[in-house]
Amino acid sequence: MMAAWLDIVNENGSWTLIDTNRLGELVNGMPFPQRQYPDLIYFAGGIGRIRALRSILSQNNVTRKGPAGLVRLHLNHKAVQTDSPLLIAESGWDSTQRTGDTTGLRHATANHRKYAISDAGSTCSTRLIQEEVKRQIVLPWTRVLCLFVQSISDVKAAQRLLGRRHRDLRIADQAVRPPLRVIIVLTKSIEDEARDLLNNGDLRCIIERERNHNSRFAFTIQPFRHNRIRATPGLAA
């Protein structure tokens, strides 16, 4: 089954968000969809993200060829019988080469939903649109955010993702901020410059701001180890 969930495409100078209905398919395919409440984990990064996905989703071919879009979505089948099945969204830092590739899928017209992205003219860069979709569509629902960093560009990408606040979820007229745990996962070959920037750069200020804004916000930095990733609260089956 195709894992692509969200995608963006530029049509005649206007940006469009594509929802492939991957989320609906996974939820409706759960044993008791009316009584289960899935948790969403979001993995962002490069090679460390792929290794972590392979460790957790051993039954899934997470690197299968085919349309990838901007954000993919997987179901952890080990926890599918529980009250809170685990959904894992994942994306690279820069998905420019793969965005828009879901439009050629068979039955795409019938199953996909399209939404115009307001205030996103032709002058907006692809990277900016990507980051805003991740921030405003994926992050508000995320329980655990794992950022896999290895280079200076990775740290800067993490800063951009967290640098602007995402929207609040709303129930009736009340804003709701679910608990969010951010884990920065350091790959084994992390560059010294990236480690220095991580410890002393703007990301620390961003984290402190979030802590002050949301009392249910938690943050940790840890080296990449398969057993640690699997033992992360919300990931353990």
Q: What is the 3-state secondary structure (H, E, C) of the chain?
A: CCCEEEEEEEECCEEEEEECCHHHHHHHCCCCCCCCCCEEEEEEECHHHHHHHHHHCCCCCCCCCCCCCCEEEEECHHHCCCCCCEEEEEECCCCCCCCCHHHHCCCHHHHCEEEECCCCCCCCCHHHHHHHHHHHHHHHHEEEEEEEECCHHHHHHHHHHHHCCCCCEEECCEEECCCEEEEEEECCCCCHHHHHHHHHCHHHHHHHHHHHHCCCEEEEEEECCHHHHHHCCCCCC
Q: Does residue 153 carry a pLDDT above 60? A: yes
Which pLDDT band, with edges at 50, 70 and 90, does 22 fall under?
A: very high
Which pLDDT band, with edges at 50, 70 and 90, does 36 fall under?
A: very high
Average pLDDT over residues 107-114: 72
Q: What is the predicted pLDDT for the residue at 31? A: 93
Q: Does residue 96 carry a pLDDT above 80? A: no
Q: Does residue 232 carry a pLDDT above 60? A: no
Domain coordinates of the chain in residue numbers?
32-94+125-231
Rounded to the nearest integer, the mean pLDDT of the chain is: 79
Of the listed ranges 50-54, 79-83, 98-102, 142-146, the one predicted with least confidence = 98-102
Q: What is the predicted pLDDT for the residue at 236? A: 47
Which pLDDT band, with edges at 50, 70 and 90, does 237 fall under?
A: very low
Q: What is the predicted pLDDT for the residue at 191? A: 67
Q: Does residue 194 carry a pLDDT above 80? A: no
CATH number of 32-94+125-231: 3.40.50
Which pLDDT band, with edges at 50, 70 and 90, does 74 fall under?
A: very high
The model carries a pTM of: 0.83
Average pLDDT over residues 109-125: 74
More confident residue, 43 or 230: 43
